[in-house]
Amino acid sequence: VISYAYPPLPGDDGLRVGEVVVNAERAAAEGRRRAGTSAELALYIAHGIQHLGGASDKTREQRQRMRKLEMAWLREADREGLLEGLAPARRAKGGRAG
């Protein structure tokens, strides 16, 4: 996952703007071992969004904090039907976001 945060434009009142780039080939490979490619991509996107918000995963504690929030977001998205058609988010656990 690569995240690019852009500086706010004048008048945007601090709105965060950026891009999240994910490796679909890696998601497909990891997805075969876990909850599927779509669920893996959702995890990568959640991870990238956290980086856009300023989160870091340089230490074990930071990675654990990020993963906990990613999984909470994915469970909530699953409950709201936003991940319809994907494997349940609770199955997309462990490992690293890539």
Question: What is this structure's pTM?
Answer: 0.76
The string of DSSP letters for 54-77 reads T---SSHHHHHHHHHHHHHHHHHH
User: Mean pLDDT in runs of 10 for the chain (98 residues)?
Assistant: 87 82 94 90 94 94 96 92 64 48
Instruction: HSE, CB side, 13 Å, CA atoms: give it for residue 8.
Output: 8
User: Each residue of 57-78: pLDDT tens digit?
Assistant: 999 999 999 999 999 999 998 8
Please give the pLDDT value at position 92: 44
Cα(55)–Cα(15) distance, rounded to whole angstroms? Answer: 16
Distance CA 65, CA 51 (A): 12
Give the pLDDT of residue 86: 64
